[in-house]
Amino acid sequence: MRKSQSQAYVYGITAVLLWSTVATAFKLALGYLTPLQLMAIASLSSTIVLGVIIAIQGKLRLCLSYLKHHFGYYLLLGLINPFGYYFILFQAYDRLPAQQAQPLNYTWAITLSLMAVPLLGHKLTRGDISAMLLGYFGVVVIATEGNFLALHFTSLSGVALALLSTLFWALYWILNQRREDDPVAGLFTGFLLSLPITWGMCLATEKLTDLHWQALAGGVYVGLFEMGITFVCWVMALKKTEKTARISNLIFISPFLSLFFIAKLLHENIHHATYIGLVLIIAGLIIQQYANHRSAKPAPEH
């Protein structure tokens, strides 16, 4: 694919802006839907839009190949994401204020580094350890609203679920690193295989009758702009960019924009501890990214 930094920025900024709205969308949709209902509607809409994108890109045969030769692998991926990850994440958002759930979920990159040690044989660097200490201290600050010495949590179960969701997301990306399949085609295949399980579970335990239009609109929005279109925009940004760091650094804007939407649309009074904790988490991620980038550079020749 031909590189174009200007196009990469368009795709990247679009993805960041859309991802910045989803925490607000989660809470609004959960005002009308249960977590399982939201997951069912969102996963259906995202699977449809991903299927359309795959068809336009001419990759349907590739997906059929994945289904034929790697059915078990993609079923496992689908059970991890979207089924497991979003079911747990939506449960967390159902229990926590959006201003807490969103930053806590953002620690998935730290979780990824920790899980890569036993699963990929990686070693923890100083950057990883610094990120872990700063990031998880930030988690405690946010979850206790600054009263971390008393360890009084707004919702301990919500905090636990938000952190558990990062395990699922990190595991999903670790499993993806074991193969070099097309990311969009692979995402669609996993979503397609998990869809009957999600809907079977939803129809067996929930009612989907008499839903308000706001419920359907919220579910579709989450499916399109959390799970579907936004992911494709991000992949395109990474493919178009001349330097990955220029695009990957954009993601640090997202949680701060997200707090803006949470305050304006959900009318949550953003606690000062949320800002402090988020800065700690972002600082840890930046240190981790910078340290790992330096360690990946080849040693200079003498």
Is 301 among the domain residues?
no
Let me know: does 49 contact 191? Beta carbons within 8 Å. Answer: no
Let me know: does 164 contact 121? Beta carbons within 8 Å. Answer: no
Is 204 among the domain residues?
yes
Is 77 among the domain residues?
yes
* pLDDT (tens digit per residue) in 215-261: 999 999 999 998 889 888 888 887 777 777 667 777 788 889 999 99
Segments forming the whole domain that contains residue 283? 5-296
pLDDT for res 149: 65
Would you call 269 helix, strand, or coil by DSSP?
A: coil
Say if residue 35 is preceded by a cis peptide, omega within 30 of 0: no
The pair of structure tokens assigned to 10 is 């368009």
Is 112 among the domain residues?
yes
∠ CA 225-161-88, rounded to 5°: 45
Is 302 among the domain residues?
no
pLDDT for res 5: 77
* pLDDT (tens digit per residue) in 80-136: 999 999 999 999 999 999 999 998 888 888 888 888 888 878 788 888 888 888 888
| Count of domains for the chain | 1
* pLDDT (tens digit per residue) in 9-61: 888 899 889 999 999 999 999 999 999 999 999 999 999 999 999 999 999 99
